Chains A and B, each alone.
Chain A
């Protein structure tokens, strides 16, 4: 069976006055139906741009998207805008990072949830409100019949993110793209939202593309992980592979940067974080050699001159590093 989503050699560039920014540079990965794939990396590594490219929400120009984005066998990049509109919110929907600003402040919650089903399922305004109430119940908002008439400013941050999720799931999409869905929330609310997403995923049966820089969230939610760096995919594998046998020095750096259980953030976290020293390379200039060369503790001349190709070093475990074999042997 072909995967639900298959991204092939995705390139998203932006023309700016100071030159072309190569935000995503040749990324490929796939997501199977019902699966949760996490895309991780530091901020600015191109993970959000990848998500926006899949949704085709990049403004073109100044943006330019190349490659293939196959969703259920159809290349989304070939579709007309109206065809794409019919997919957005129905087959693929998205939850954003900022629940405080992602809801329209002048429309009621019910209107915003109901709009999706009115649009994609042709429901009447009355039925749409009924569906909105059901969705609010589903995401665990108390007194949904009252809340549905309220405006976003009357809700707390956690509730707003629940509303965003209700909105995204209203049409039972095949794929939910969640861009840092919990980053802006309190820790306790974070846990609730993750719990909710896991629960709904099994009920609705949607696949999730989870974008995050929080490895704790990855461990809790995902089956597979894609690691991105400077617009490129540097490693991909199962959660076990990535957490237990990371092959790319950058992934190992990220693992080190994650505070371990039982150690305080100030000691372990900080010292480990400094392991990845140096600057992310400028995306305005073409990168010669390995993108991570400037920060890699194991860098050699080969790395500086030649970019490593991404290869399947172990079954379903891909990595772009000249010295992946050495890392495997060490592991």
Chain B
């Protein structure tokens, strides 16, 4: 167990290194002159030169990368071109809303998606199953921000059940926090629910045809316990795997959702940075989110051993 954990942790290091290298190289891969593009159309040649220098584009790639990597490892993500503030500081200030949104989305998505998938598998071929599958395809097909607008228009503007936009920090009370985040979390969760419900259904169908499910029934175990104890625990590994993989979509969706609902999170920070061509901020956010994604998938790897005793590498 300990050896497995250590090995998995070590295995993420090269992945993180490649992520860092790739994110850094974007400046060099991008077609055209990034300095000129960041400086904008009205910039003087001096401005462009200044930005080129601040991005380090005038120095050799490897030297610049090594310097940059060392600073990243110390938590220094550079300085914003627009505000001159440290990027890591800017991200830190915006973490709470983003983290809150993702956490609530995960809770909502899992508590809906897994029962939906289990139910669809149990009632395979019935209208319940078909309804879940239709919902799953829709969830994949309707963009998060469209769901967001539909929800905001219906439940905030028309019915006035929730605030239309904005965020209220957890420190100001749980009720305000929850009511502000409810619609964004459901919007962001729609695609995630579709993804998880689908994989849950497929895996459960496979598990339910196994001999040990028949054994459980032969022991007199009730339907609910057959589904949620005997079968679901066996279906857990593929489900948590897809949760890990789907986390990337969750991050991407959060950026858009924060824009729709005017939530002052990291996603909003990156969207504002696009409009200001503030590349260091964009780079910092991309790096931060990518590392988060790698760590989430590391956690998923470690969770395997909790759900399946056979996994002991």
Contact = CB atoms under 8 A, between A and B. Distances in A.
Given A57-B214, A96-B214, A106 B220 contact: no
A124 interface: no
B220 A119 contact: yes
Contact of A104 (B215, B218, B222, B307): B215
Interface in A217-273: none
Contact of B234 (A90, A104, A115): A104
Interface string B216-238: 11111111000001100110100
Interface in B41-78: none
Nearest to B213: A104
Interface residues of A, number: 29
Contacts of A116: 219-220
A105 B234 contact: yes
Nearest to A82: B222
Interface residues of B, number: 22
Contact of B310 (A85, A93, A94, A105): A105
A209 interface: no
Nearest to A84: B220
Contact of A96 (B215, B223, B233): B215
B210 A101 contact: yes
B160 interface: no
Interface string A103-141: 111110000000110011000000000000000000000
A88 B217 contact: yes
Interface of A: 55, 57, 81-82, 85-90, 93-94, 96, 98, 101-107, 115-116, 119-120, 151, 153, 164, 167
Interface of B: 210-212, 214-223, 229-230, 233-234, 236, 307-310
7 contacts: A86-B220, A88-B220, A93-B219, A104-B234, A106-B310, A115-B219, A116-B220
Given A57-B218, A115-B221, 14 more contacts: A57-B214, A85-B222, A89-B219, A90-B220, A93-B218, A96-B211, A96-B218, A101-B212, A102-B214, A104-B233, A105-B310, A106-B310, A116-B220, A119-B219
